[in-house]
Structures are given as C-alpha cells and as structure tokens.
Amino acid sequence: MVKSSSLIVAAVLFLAAASVASASRPSVYIVTDYGARADPKTDSTSALSDAWRKACSDPRPSVVYVPHGRFHVRNLGFEGPCRSKDILVRIDGTLVAPSDYSVIGNAKNWILFHDVDGVRISGGILDGQGTGLWSCKLDGRKDCPTGAMNLHIANSKNVEIDGLTSINSQKFHIGVTGCQNVNLRDITVAASGTSPNTDGIHIEKSTFVSVLNSTISTGDDCISMGPGARNVWIERVACGPGHGISIGSLGWKLQEPGVQNVTVKRVHFTETTNGLRIKTWARRSLGFVRNVLFQHVVFDGVKNPILIDQNYCPGGRNCPRQASGIKVSDIRYKSIGGTSQSKVAVRFECSKSNPCAGITMHDVKLTYVGGGRGEEATATCANARGTSSGFVMPVVRYS
C-alpha cells in the first residue's frame, strides 16, 4: 500500500470529523483491511460488503473508506436498516464494474443502497464500463441484457450524495426510488451522447429530493422524474449532451401516482435534443403533473427547448393512439431564453380529453438559429389553456 494503515486512519478521521453529524469519534472501516486490492485481478466485492456490514452493525458514527486506486467489484448491496444513522461512505478511488457486461447486466443495479437512514456518500468515481452493452443495443441484437444502474438509492431516507462522478453506466447512472429527503450535490455524470437509456439521475416515488451544482452529459435524459416524484428541487445544473430534463414518461398504468411540486432553476442546456419536457403516453391513466416551475433557464442550440408531449411514443411503433389521461396543470415558465435548432421552439401537444390548464409564460425569449435571415421561432399549441405576460417570443396562441 502507498500509505501505512495508521496514516490512512489518521487521514480518514480528520476527514470524518467534518463529515459525520455526531461530535463523537467515528469508527473507521477501511476496505483494504478486509481484502480489497486496487488491481484488476482482485475482486473486491466481498471486502466492501464486509466493511459495510461492520459499519452498519456499529451503534457509533462510522466511516467506510475506499482509498485511492481502481477497485474492481461486481454487484454490491448495502443493506439496512443500520444501528447508526450517521454513516459516511468516503470514496477517494474508483469502483470499476466488470468489463464483461453480462456479469451484472441482468441485475437492475450495480451498486444498491437499500433501506438505509442517515447515510452520506462522498467523492469517488463509479465506472460502469457500459460501452460494450451500448454497442450490443445499438447493433439491434436481441440477446442484450437490460443493463444495470450504476447507483440506486431505494426505500431510504436522509441520504446525501456529494462530489460523486458516475461514468459509462450500462443503464441509468443514479436512481432514487421510494425515498424521502435525498440530497445530491456536485454530481458529475459522463457518458456518450449516443449511449442508450443512460438517464443521468432518475427520481421516482420519492419526496424532498434535491439536485444541485451538477454537470450531466449523457445519451438520454439528464434528469428524469417518474411517477410519484414530489417536492423535487433542481438548481444550477449543466445539461448536455442529452435529452434534457424530463417529467415522464408517465401514463404506463391506469393507477399511477402523480408528479407535483417540482422546481427547476438556473439550468443551462447545451445542444440537447430537448430542454424542458413533459412526456406522457396517449392512454388512460389517473396520474397527473401539477405545480411545476421552470425559471432562469438558458438554452444553447437546443432542438426542442420547451415541450409538452402527451402523445409520447419513441420510435413510433405500437403507439397506444388514445387520449392521455394524465392531467397537466399549473406549469410556469419564467425568465427563460436562448437559441433553438428547430423553428418550432415551443410545442404544447396536450391531451384532447384532459387539456393542459394553468400554463403561464413570463419573459420567455427564444431565437431560431437554423433558418434564414429574418426567420423567427414559432410555437404550436393544441389543447392547452394558459396566459402569457411580459415579453414572450415566440407568441403562444393557447387553444
């Protein structure tokens, strides 16, 4: 090892003193003490699991420490509940998934935190090595596994994730499902703009979730919110490449929890396919989207800056072709500007049976950069009720 065990412990204790909530001296569990090795021939899965189990069973504040180096691991499950509600997982190195995508590709998750309370994950890199699976899918092969999520926080509460980098996930990078009070900040997500189904951060059936000060470049939605996402705050995020920030897709099922109380502020989109998007399938559903604020947003060469699509059907195959039952209401766009690659910069395609209601646009200025001289951006609107104030361009004619 580069450092002696005593030096590592001293460094981690110093770091933990400012990181764990308690003032008492934390217990420190260093994964190399349990057999982890930073070399490609060593499977460090058991070592990380053992260190977690020790920390989870300790009633005192605890630190699980991954030092510098590349540690190869298979599927990892960090299960709770734990005796302490003050556990720091500090990663100074890189966790590396198997290069053979079939090893973890049929699992939903590569790294899972389940049923935990009071956990902080700080620093480090998660390398999902997903390029092989992306190629399998892009080649149209039928035997490709679905793929594993790099990091999934499930059925947990009071979780913080900061300074984490997720690269080349097989599928979604970070997922938050069935959780309460999860805060993500200073997150970096990096994957190819052509990587399939690699949402940066996906939030579903969770409440009081924040994403702050983060940079996301990927092949699908930078941030997506599925059924049951409530009280979500997104601010100071850079998105691109990617498919933008999306609510949805919604309307998979008749009985589906709604999405509400979402704030998206100070976001910069660069050459994404979409910007601010709400997408629902055109079928019966009792779900809804309501009380959403998009504010202080800048678009730089975005293909579809503002979009509500209630006829969502990617690929155009086996589309339900009904009327979406998702009720979209109280959607506010304020202080938004930038450039659109498409002439139609604002598109509201709402449900015939459940028209969008309460759309407001205030101080929105979008410019078309793909046309000839003097050609302005336009808006299309179907089955949408709303009002505009301040300077709004393109003009939206609500119907």
User: Taking the C-alpha atoms of 17, 68, 177 and 132 in order, what is their torsion angle to the nearest 10 degrees?
Assistant: 170
What is the structure's pLDDT at 274? 98
Q: Which helix (H) or strand (E) holds 57?
A: helix 45-57
Q: Per residue in 140-159, pLDDT tens?
A: 999 999 999 999 999 999 99
Residues with Cβ within 8 Å of 154's Cβ and at least 6 positions away in sequence, in order, are 112, 113, 114, 115, 175, 177, 178, 179
Which whole number is the average pLDDT over 304-325? 94
How would residue 1 be classed by pLDDT, with cut points 50, 70 and 90? very low
pLDDT at 4 over 90: no
Listed in sequence order, the residues at least 6 apart from 140 whose beta carbon sits closer than 8 Å to its beta carbon are: none
* Residues recorded for the chain: 399
Give the integer Cα–Cα distance in Å for 16 and 88.
Answer: 8
190: burial class by Cβ within 10 Å (0-12, 13-18, 19+)?
A: middle
**Distance separating alpha carbons of residues 368 and 147, to the nearest angstrom:** 38
The percentage of the chain sitting over the pLDDT mark of 70, rounded to a whole number, equals 93
pLDDT at 375: 78
- pLDDT tens by residue, 21-68: 555 789 999 999 999 999 999 999 999 999 999 999 999 999 999 999
pLDDT score at 3: 45
pLDDT for residue 322: 93
**Chain centre distance of CA 93:** 22
Write down the pLDDT at residue 315. 85
**HSE value, Cβ hemisphere, 13 Å, CA-based, for 231:** 9
Q: What is the pLDDT of residues 68-126, one digit of tens each?
A: 999 999 999 999 999 999 999 999 999 999 999 999 999 999 999 999 999 999 999 99
Is residue 20 predicted with pLDDT exceeding 60?
no
Q: What integer is the mean pLDDT of 259-277?
A: 98
Please give the positions annotated as active site: 243
Residue 357 has pLDDT above 50, yes or no: yes
pLDDT digits (tens, 9 = 90+) for 159-191: 999 999 999 999 999 999 999 999 999 999 999
- According to DSSP, the residues that pair with 347 across neighbouring strands are 307, 380
Q: Determine whether 374 is exposed, middle or buried from the number of CB atoms within 10 Å of its CB (0-12, 13-18, 19+).
A: exposed
Give the model's pLDDT for residue 25.
85
